Amino acid sequence: MSKEPKRFHLATALIIAVLSTNVAMANTSPDGSIAINIDKIDHTFQDLLNAMVTKCTYCIHPDLDFTNPQSQTFIIQARTSEKDPPLCTIKLSIDGATITPTTANTGKGTFRVAFDKNNVPPGKSIIRAQAINDSGQTVGEAELYVKKNRYYMSVEKIVQECDTCNKLTTSPLLADFGNVPPSSQATINTIATNNTRSDLFFTASSSQPWVVIQNGPQFYLQAGESTTIRFGINWNFAKPNQVVQSRITLYGREIKHEFPIGATILADLPVCAKSSPQNIDFGYVPRGTSSTKKIVFLGSPKFEMACNDGWLRFDPKSAEEGRDIMVTVNASLLPYGNSHETILVALPRGACQLVFVPVTIKTDPGISVSLIAGSKQATINSKIFQLDSPARIISSRIMVPLRFISDAFGANTIWEQKTKTITITRISKTIIMKLGDDTAMVDGKQVSLDVMPTISDGRTLIPIRAISDFFGATTSWNSQTRTARIDWDPD
């Protein structure tokens, strides 16, 4: 299926109508001319237009449970602005495989359908959602580009097949305040974009009173422009120790766009614990390297550490008051982009509020690795690294040192001497190779290798093409300088 919204032009429809009916509707006259039944064409053309209308009945969106790590299901919502929409069934497939809902999947108007998160494999996937009416027609369709790791699942992009669903779009797709201490001045922003060629005037409203639209509720948006909608919390309606959710509706002439918003209100506990320092700024860390900072927690006998992002590591994960905790970031584990941020959460023992430590880091946007065959020198972006063993050409293939190339990708490597097995893991991705074996297992699926892993000068060498393909990188070879290059925008 196309990754961009389909556009059906009127002229194209007319041509198809004529061509598809020339046999049934054309009569040959004695003089050899052709007479066409115009009434028949009008009827067929109207059928095509009706099909176009029913195609755009429902818009399909994810619900807030997508980002809730405590939820075992994710929810798809079908919504429509029509007064009398048809009854329809929501069907889902992930990377081509159909999945079964955990709730009833038939409804009319705006309704929700739940699916088990275990159906979504680790890594990146495309969820295709279809709304199908009783006649078997697709009356709404969308592709959801999702990413899942062991901590959470997120929605990176939605491609609606119906143009009417794309007139007004918002980013992020799901508005989440996250963990909010009671009575705090928490705010979040959503960017609304006008994708039409006309100016839009719309009003924003919330289905629940705990949401405050701080700079609205009415907005004027010129064609092709974007604006910021700022949300706050009305503490008269949001109480401690609960999860609150609502639905934001942006509506105007021929426009109705909705998205979920939520917050986790923490328990109203005393602030008896703190960290030193109160935030961690790693500054700039080059790809291919790591950086470590020290932090101490005070005010409770013991603390448990947690973080939703796999690129931040901490040791120990449980520590007594006043003990040094080493917080480490591996720059090659960071996703594509210059600036990144996350939250390190410390759970104190006893009746104390959680301690939230903001963590920030800057690095290079992507990863570019260059190795020269026969040289013990390599580069990751502009930083030079010395290798224990050089890259080599074996059977007309470039072989690179396992340890260096794994570190460049931010991956962890385990060598099993007894079985001669190499296991490479990076967040949710696992690659298993064996010496002398021309196959590998990538996330449980067997793939073929052009050349087998080998040992040279006591160091394990693996094919550069295989490792780059496994991670979705691109590889190039300069025969004049005998230089292999890998370029990668990490997930």
- pLDDT over threshold 60, residue 21: no
- Percent of the chain's residues with pLDDT above 90: 30
Tokens of 50: 């009706």
Nearest to 404 by CA among 441, 383, 422, 378: 378
Q: Reduce the DSSP state of residue 355 to 3 states and report it.
A: strand
- Per DSSP, the residues of 236-275 read TT--SSEEEEEEEEEEETTEEEEEEEEEEEPP------EE
281-299 pLDDT per residue, tens: 999 999 999 999 999 999 8
54-72 pLDDT per residue, tens: 457 888 888 766 666 667 8
- pLDDT over threshold 90, residue 74: no
- pLDDT over threshold 50, residue 1: no
Residue pair 66/154 in contact by the 8 Å Cβ criterion: yes
Q: How far apart are CA 92 and CA 125, in angstroms?
A: 13
The residue-averaged pLDDT of 93-107 equals 88
365-394 pLDDT per residue, tens: 999 999 999 999 999 998 999 988 899 998
Tokens of 384: 């030079």
Query: Would you state the pLDDT for residue 227?
Result: 94
CB atoms within 10 A of CB 433: 26
Among the ranges 23-27, 41-45, 112-116, 268-272, which has the highest mean pLDDT value? 112-116
User: Residue 208: which residues within 8 A CB-CB, separation 6 or more?
Assistant: 237, 244, 245, 246, 247
Domains of the chain listed by start with CATH number:
10-54 (no CATH), 168-268 (2.60.40.10), 274-362 (2.60.40.10), 367-488 (3.30.457.10)
The residue-averaged pLDDT of 134-142 equals 90
Q: How far apart are CA 210 and CA 233, in angstroms?
A: 6
Query: Would you state the pLDDT for residue 471?
Result: 84
Which range is least confidently modeled, 43-52, 268-277, 472-481?
43-52
What mean pLDDT is reported for the chain? 83
